[in-house]
Amino acid sequence: MKDTYLNLVNGPLKQVAKTLGLPQPVELQRFDSTPESYRRKPVLVLGAGPEAQKLADMLLENGLEVRRHSTSGESLRAIIAVLDDAKTPTDLSETVLGIGSALRSLAKCGRVITISMAPDAQNQDPELAAAAQGITGLTRSLAHEMRAGSTANGILLDGVDLQAPSVATALWFLLSGKSAYVSGQFVTVSSQEGTPVRMEQFLSTGTSGPLAGRSAVVTGAARGIGAAIARNLARDGAHVIGVDMPQAGQALAEVMNEIGGKTLQLDITAESAAQKIAEAVGGPVDVLIHNAGITRDKMLANMDAARWNSVITVNIAAQARVNAHLSEKGLFADGAQVVSLASTSGIAGNRGQTNYATSKAGVIGLTAASAKDFAHRGGTINAVAPGFIETDMTAKMPPLTRQVARRLSSLQQGGHPVDVAETIGFLASAGARGINGTTVRVCGQNMVGA
User: Active-site residue numbers?
Assistant: 356
Alpha-carbon distances, residue 203 vs 32, 100, 199, 220, 443 (angstroms): 10, 29, 6, 26, 22
Residues linked to residue 264 through DSSP beta bridges, in sequence order? 243
* CA separation for the pair 350, 359 (Å, rounded): 12
Letter string b/e over residues 105-116, b meaning 16 or more CB atoms within 10 A of that residue's CB: bbbebbbbbbbb
Residue 220 in contact with residue 291, Cβ under 8 Å? yes
Under DSSP, the state recorded for 389 is B
| Residue 173: C-alpha distances to residues 216, 244, 403, 419, 427 (Å) | 20, 29, 29, 12, 10
Distance CA 271, CA 289 (A): 18
HSE, side-chain direction, 13 A CA sphere, residue 55: 32
Q: Are 71 and 44 in contact (CB under 8 A)?
A: no
Fill in the amino acid letter for 287.
V
Identify the CA nearest to 414 among candidates 438, 440, 395, 396.
395
Single-letter amino acid, residue 291: N
DSSP state letters, 49-84:
SHHHHHHHHHHHHTT--EESS--TT--EEEEEEE-T
Please give the backbone phi and psi of residue 194, each rounded to the nearest 5 degrees, phi first: 115, 145
Phi and psi (nearest 5°) for 351? -55, 130
Kindly report the backbone phi and psi dihedral angles of residue 87, in degrees, each rounded to the nearest multiple of 5, phi listed first: -100, -20
CA 177 to chain centre: 12
Q: Are 349 and 356 in contact (CB under 8 A)?
A: no
